[in-house]
């Protein structure tokens, strides 16, 4: 069971790769540049070069799960958001279908279902996520869509909630998101689900594992 992590060099992607490697789960990190490879190779993590704005079809060879954690971020121009968060995600979904992977795990966003309700600078990103989520839902792929709230760099607690309406806020640490993604990829029985996620008071495995 080799897991391809697309967006591996991001702050969440690095943590997902590290958790997998530490637990002996075969993982492949997709990176854009060779200069990014040593970070992963030092942890015994396989790497492959691929660019969401270019060619990356060979990255999926031999992989049976895909974790898509790439994101252009709120400070990226709308055109690059379109290329990475929408077109890149859609191409990843299409390539995963062609490769016959067993599951596609998408990192989305809590407000993706209503982009116009989000902060103005995030609306292009949320709209891209909304469209990519719809395409994944309508694909032939077994899938999980994780919809975290507002990211923080707080230390992960391992405690989360899937009920934002009953939570104090919509913040969630990137570390907790990584733990949730890892819990999902370890459990093949979690399929065709959309999971909202914020920091909370329940263990990750009890909520999404």
Q: For residues 138-162, give the mean pLDDT.
A: 96
User: By the 8 A CB rule, do 181 and 67 touch?
Assistant: yes
Pairwise CA distance, residues 22 & 186, whole Å: 13
User: By the 8 A CB rule, do 180 and 204 touch?
Assistant: yes
Q: For residues 192-198, give the mean pLDDT.
A: 96
The structure tokens listed for 113 are 């279902």
Q: What's residue 10's pLDDT?
A: 94
- pLDDT, one tens digit per residue, over 89-142 is 999 999 999 999 999 999 999 989 899 988 888 888 899 999 999 999 999 999
Catalytic hit among 68, 125, 130, 182:
125
CATH (one of 3.30.930.10, 3.40.50.720, 3.30.40.10, 2.60.40.10) for 3-208: 3.40.50.720
Q: Which of 170, 181, 180, 167 is nearest to 119 (CA)?
A: 170
User: By the 8 A CB rule, do 136 and 143 touch?
Assistant: yes
The structure tokens listed for 168 are 């104090």
Q: What's residue 119's pLDDT?
A: 85
Q: What's residue 99's pLDDT?
A: 95
Residue 15 has pLDDT above 80, yes or no: yes
- pLDDT, one tens digit per residue, over 60-78 is 999 999 999 998 765 667 7
Q: What's residue 84's pLDDT?
A: 86
Whether residue 130 lies in the annotated active site: no
Q: What's residue 76's pLDDT?
A: 65
Q: What's residue 73's pLDDT?
A: 63
Q: What's residue 75's pLDDT?
A: 63
Based on its alpha-carbon atoms, the radius of gyration of the chain, rounded to whole angstroms, reads 16
Domain ranges of the chain: 3-208
């Amino acid at each position: 069971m080799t897991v391809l992590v697309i967006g591996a060099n991001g702050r969440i992607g690095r943590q997902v790769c590290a958790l997998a490697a530490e637990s002996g789960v075969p993982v492949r990190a997709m990176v854009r540049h060779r200069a990014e490879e040593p970070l992963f190779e030092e942890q015994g993590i396989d790497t492959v070069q691929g660019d969401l704005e270019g060619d990356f079809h060979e990255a999926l060879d031999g992989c049976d799960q895909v974790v898509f954690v790439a994101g252009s971020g709120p400070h990226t121009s709308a055109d690059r958001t379109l290329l990475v968060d929408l077109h890149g995600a859609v191409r990843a979904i299409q390539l995963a279908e062609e490769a016959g992977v067993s599951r596609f795990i998408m990192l989305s966003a809590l407000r993706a279902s209503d982009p116009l309700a989000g902060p103005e600078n995030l609306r292009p990103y949320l709209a891209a996520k909304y469209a990519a989520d719809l395409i994944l839902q309508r694909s032939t792929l077994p899938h999980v869509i994780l919809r975290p709230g507002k990211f923080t760099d707080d230390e992960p607690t391992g405690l989360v909630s899937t009920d934002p309406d009953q939570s104090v806020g919509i913040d969630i640490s990137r570390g907790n998101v990584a733990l949730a993604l890892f819990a999902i990829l370890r459990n093949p029985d979690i399929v065709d689900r959309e999971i909202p996620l914020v920091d909370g008071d329940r263990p990750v495995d009890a909520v999404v594992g």
